[in-house]
């Protein structure tokens, strides 16, 4: 469960708002939420969406060729960027959703597997 103080800080910064099921991002701001959380926990985060796109491409290549360093990095990482992409497109505006995960806690305020999105790549974060 996400700490109430952290939820209040995300809400105060305009990243999320309350809804019937809990909290939801206020805009197409999943990158900014993940970046904020990574910095909050003292972790390095990609400097732009372009850098993240390059990291996604590189990590997908590593997955394709079963690179053992990729698997070890994911296994050892205490924090990750998780990229969700839809397994189908049905009137969706966004085609990618960025989520921050630390110590088995996903900080997800948008799309997930329940919404037809699948995890397409996990990127380990370093301090």
- Encode pLDDT of 51-93 as tens digits: 999 998 888 887 777 666 666 667 778 899 999 987 665 555 5
What is this structure's pTM? 0.84
Report the C-alpha gap between 52 and 31 in whole angstroms.
9
Report the C-alpha gap between 104 and 74 in whole angstroms.
12
- Residue 81 token pair: 């960027």
Q: Which residue has the higher pLDDT, 19 or 73?
A: 19
Tell me the CB-side half-sphere exposure of residue 3, using CA atoms within 13 A.
5
**pLDDT grade for 114, boundaries at 50, 70 and 90:** confident
- Encode pLDDT of 25-52 as tens digits: 998 899 999 999 999 999 999 999 999 9
Q: Would the pLDDT of 110 be above 80? A: yes
Could you say which DSSP state residue 114 is in?
Answer: G
Query: Hey, what long-range contacts does 97-105 have (CB within 8 A, 24 or more apart)?
Result: 97/30, 98/30, 98/31, 98/33, 98/34, 98/52, 99/30, 99/34, 100/33, 100/34, 100/37, 100/38, 102/37, 102/41, 102/43, 102/78, 103/78, 103/79, 105/1, 105/2
Angle 72-78-82 (CA atoms, 0-180°, nearest 5)? 80
Report the C-alpha gap between 79 and 81 in whole angstroms.
7
What local confidence, expressed as pLDDT, does residue 94 receive?
A: 55
Could you tell me which residues come within 8 angstroms of residue 31 by beta carbon, excluding any fewer than 6 positions away?
A: 49, 52, 98
Owning domain of residue 62: 4-124
Domain count along the chain? 1
């Amino acid at each position: 469960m996400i700490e109430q103080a952290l939820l209040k800080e995300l809400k105060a910064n305009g990243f999320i708002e309350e809804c019937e099921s809990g909290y939801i991002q206020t805009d197409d701001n999943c990158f900014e939420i993940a970046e904020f959380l990574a910095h909050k926990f003292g972790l390095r985060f990609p400097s732009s969406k372009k850098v993240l796109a390059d990291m996604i491409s590189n990590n997908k290549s590593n997955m394709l060729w079963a690179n053992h360093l990729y698997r070890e990095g994911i296994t050892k990482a205490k924090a990750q960027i998780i990229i969700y992409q839809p397994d189908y497109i049905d009137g969706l505006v966004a085609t990618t959703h960025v989520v921050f995960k630390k110590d088995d806690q996903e900080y997800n305020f948008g799309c997930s597997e329940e919404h037809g999105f699948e995890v397409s790549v996990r990127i380990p974060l370093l301090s």
